Amino acid sequence: MDRPAAANPATARDIILEIVRNMREGLEPLHYSTLPPAIFHVYLHTSDMERLRGILPRIVDEARRALDAELETLNRASLGERLKIARRSDPRIVAPEGGWQIRILEDTDEDAAPGDIAISSELALPAKDELGSGSMTKRIATRRMGGVESTKQSYDAPPAVPAAPASDAGAFAVIEYEDSTGHKTYRMTKDEIVVGRGGRDYWTDIKLETLPDVSREHFRLRRDPASGQFFLKDLSQLGTTIDGAKAPSSMVLEGGEKRDRNLEASVPPRARIGLAGVVFLEFRSTSNG
């Protein structure tokens, strides 16, 4: 892809300023208050991560202080407002109740370069008053690549609340797993799904909140409609296991470029699928009990 010339390595100050910019970009005005994003995932190139690893706790601490200072600046009333001549146009920004949550991780995107800073932040919007409606999540993705800044925003609607306990009817398979957010159940209703940590440019059907050992697109699970058999294609860096046996990697590096060899492993009707030894999925095909 075309991109500006490689930037200089990212500095700690660059990272802090980009976190503050992400917060400003993600402000959500309500009627009586304005909410900022509270959870920040910061992705750095491997070389920047290694160089700054020893001071990451200090960077996180100073980033929190910078966010508090930015809120104070943004909330500071103008002279006219202080004299009650003018009326404040925007509701006051309130700090998140649980504080600022910041994690700095290694960026595994192929197009990442030294100096690039990518941040994905989240803001849980208040639930609607209607019975059964949950809260929507606002996601703010900011990037500084080659010195060029960009911003994207999206809204994830809450899942529909079922009137009765979910049934396995209509599902080809049931997958149970546990990540950092708790125990979850996924019912596979299409012939192919993608599993991994996901990310700005990575769609996943099962998005795992876990360590970066798990790739953003870790594996694909495919069902053959004719036979009902399931097959797994490993796309990860640190591997996938099926009942403890390592699945063949479908990705190979040739001339500095990744190539998909389209290798798949058969998945039995019941299997324990491991992702980099970090997360384990309990797979069960509904057509085979």
What pLDDT is attached to residue 109?
Answer: 67
The answer to whether 138 and 37 are in contact (CB under 8 A) is: yes
pLDDT of residue 161: 53
Pick from 83-97, 136-150, 183-197 the range whose average pLDDT is largest: 183-197
Residue 243 has pLDDT above 90, yes or no: yes
Read out DSSP for 12-57? HHHHHHHHHHHHHHT-EE-SS-EEPP-EEEEEE-HHHHHHHGGGHH
Instruction: Give the span between the Cα atoms of 278 and 212, in whole angstroms.
Output: 10
Distance (Å, whole) CA 102 – CA 158: 23
What's the distance, Cα to Cα, between the start and end of the chain in Å?
A: 47
Q: Rounded CA gap, 203 and 99, in Å?
A: 29
Which residues, 6+ apart, have CB-to-CB distance to 149 below 8 Å? 21, 142, 143
Residues of each domain in the chain carrying CATH 3.30.2320: 12-156
Residue 81 confidence (pLDDT): 58
Single-letter residue type at 261: R
Measured in degrees and rounded to the nearest 5, phi and psi for residue 202 equal -125, 110
DSSP assigned state of 215: -
CA dihedral over 62, 63, 65, 69, signed as positive or negative: positive
What number is the average pLDDT over the span 9-24?
96
Write down the pLDDT at residue 8. 83
Sequence ranges of the chain with CATH classification 2.60.200.20: 173-288
Show the beta-strand stretches assigned E in 107-156. 117-124, 137-145, 148-156
- Classify burial at 74, counting beta carbons within 10 Å of its beta carbon; exposed 0-12, middle 13-18, buried 19 or more: middle
Strand partners, 195: 206, 219
Tens-place pLDDT, residues 100-159: 999 998 886 666 789 999 998 989 876 554 434 456 788 888 888 877 888 988 877 665
Structure tokens belonging to residue 268:
């039995």
104: three-class secondary structure by DSSP: strand
Say if residues 276 and 238 touch (Cβ distance below 8 Å).
yes
**Percent of the chain, pLDDT > 70?**
83
Per the CB < 8 A criterion, the answer to whether 36 and 96 are in contact is yes
Using a CB cutoff of 8 Å and minimum separation of 24, what contacts does 163-168 make?
168/286
- Type and span of the H or E element at 265: strand 265-267
User: At residue 231, does pLDDT exceed 60?
Assistant: yes
Written as six digits, the tokens of 278 are 């970090």
Measured at the alpha carbon of residue 111, what is the angle toward residues 108 and 112, in degrees to the nearest 5?
A: 60
Query: Do the Cβ atoms of 147 and 198 come closer than 8 Å?
Result: no
Check if the beta carbon of residue 150 is closer than 8 Å to that of residue 143.
yes
Q: In CATH, what number does 173-288 get?
A: 2.60.200.20
Distances (CA, A) of 227 to 191, 222, 231: 12, 12, 11
Asked if residue 248 has pLDDT above 60, the reply is yes
| Whether 205 contacts 126, CB under 8 Å | no
Tell me, what's the pLDDT at 146? 77
20 vs 98, higher pLDDT: 20
Domain 12-156 part of CATH 3.30.2320: yes
